[in-house]
Amino acid sequence: MYGRGVEGMGKYIIRRLLGLIPMLFIITVIVFLMMHFAPGDAFTSIMNPNIKNVDELQESLRKAAGYDRPLPVQYIEWLSNFLKGDWGYSYVKFEPVLSLIGPALSNTVFLALLAQIISIGVGIPIGILQSRFPYSKFDYISSTVLFIFFSIPSFIFGIILIYIFAINLGWFPAQGATGFGENAGSFFDRLYHAFLPATSLILLSLVSHTRYVRGAMLDVRSADYTRTAYAKGLSEGKVFGKHIFRNAMIPSVTQWGYDIASIVGGSIILERLFQYQGMGLLTIDAVNGRDYPVIMATTIIFAVAILLGNLIADILYAVIDPRIRYD
């Protein structure tokens, strides 16, 4: 049975991964067309419009970049090079796109993981306590505080955190992904710089995890199989671990995968606010500079992250709930 389950899960993952290919293809076509139909380009942004013969110079650069060829030809060439690992060259930062993506992606992944750890580590225990003491003072107070946080936009909350903890108290830096000196780039240095933006990112997912866990645990506690477990004389720990907690985690686990999409979307704004050198800041700078190769690369990475997040949520859902079958 176990072997069949593993085999079924493998086939399911392969089917889902193959299903992502046409979706990614459609996304690349849409983004490619949007970039080329938008007014201006990188050469318009980086060149001084007051220099002599600027129009002729810009046109010669466009021809050298291949922008004068038909769009299908440009797309096929770009896609072929992209699949080969040649992601192009940034016209604004004058570096290969891959050399820009590597550090930025590393910083964003670190930020996303930290945000998830904080969200899960805080949200789930609060939800468990709320379900253990429903309609108590703790339940009402914590729910009120969480919903106040939920109503605040993440970038506004980020400004509040900067003002309190960076400017007034000086406990955390207001900008940057790493510091300076001999410890720059170390784990604790990155953790120190990522704490405020990660805390700003978790508002939505924190409230979601708390409410999902609270509601699910209250439902599971009143279920027939839970009362049967207690009637059999099982201890509180066994009932909680095998029946209540595992079944109550199903909605929250599903949310974990979807959190990736919200973190990716929120990080674009917050990385700009905190000047955090991640994928969000790189994307905004590329959009402002009409840097097409960078925009295409970051958009695809964001799309892959969101699609994989949904896939992870489905897989975790099936792992936790034995009623779900892969076949």
- Which domains occur in the chain, in start order? 100-320 (1.10.3720.10)
Say how many C-beta atoms besides its own lie within 10 A of residue 215's C-beta.
15
Over 80: is that where the pLDDT of 101 sits?
A: yes
What is the CA angle 249-316-133, rounded to 5? 5
Q: What is the pLDDT of residue 165?
A: 92
Over 70: is that where the pLDDT of 110 sits?
A: yes
- Tens digit of each residue's pLDDT (9 = 90 or more) over 216-252: 888 877 777 777 877 877 776 777 766 777 777 776 7
Q: What is the pLDDT of residue 188?
A: 87
Q: What is the pLDDT of residue 265?
A: 61
User: How far is C-alpha 307 from the geometric centre of its chain's CA atoms?
Assistant: 11
Q: What is the pLDDT of residue 247?
A: 74
**Would you tell me the crossing angle of helices 137-151 and 97-132 to the nearest 10 degrees?**
150
Q: What is the pLDDT of residue 164?
A: 92
In this prediction, residue 50 has a pLDDT band, given cuts at 50, 70 and 90, of: low
C-alpha span between 305 and 118 (Å, rounded): 20
Record the tokens describing residue 305, joined without a space. 């992250």
**DSSP assigned state of 89:** B
- Residue at 111: amino acid letter: L
C-alpha span between 176 and 281 (Å, rounded): 11
- Tens digit of each residue's pLDDT (9 = 90 or more) over 165-213: 999 988 998 888 887 777 777 888 888 888 999 888 887 678 877 888 8
Q: What is the pLDDT of residue 67?
A: 75
Q: What is the pLDDT of residue 119?
A: 83
C-alpha span between 79 and 90 (Å, rounded): 16
Q: What is the pLDDT of residue 261?
A: 64
Beta bridge partners of 89: 96
Over 70: is that where the pLDDT of 2 sits?
A: no
What is the CA angle 198-257-285, rounded to 5? 50
Alpha helices (runs of H) in the chain, residue ranges in sequence order: 2-37, 42-46, 54-65, 71-83, 97-132, 137-151, 154-161, 187-201, 203-221, 224-231, 236-239, 246-273, 279-288, 292-320
Residue closest to 58 by CA, chosen among 234, 223, 290, 318? 290
Alpha carbon distance, N-terminus to C-terminus of the chain: 13
Over 70: is that where the pLDDT of 34 sits?
A: yes
Contact 210, 130 (CB under 8 A): yes
C-alpha span between 166 and 311 (Å, rounded): 37
In this prediction, residue 47 has a pLDDT band, given cuts at 50, 70 and 90, of: low
- Tens digit of each residue's pLDDT (9 = 90 or more) over 276-326: 888 888 888 888 878 888 888 888 888 888 888 777 777 777 666 656 655
Pairwise pLDDT comparison (2 vs 81), residue with the higher score: 81
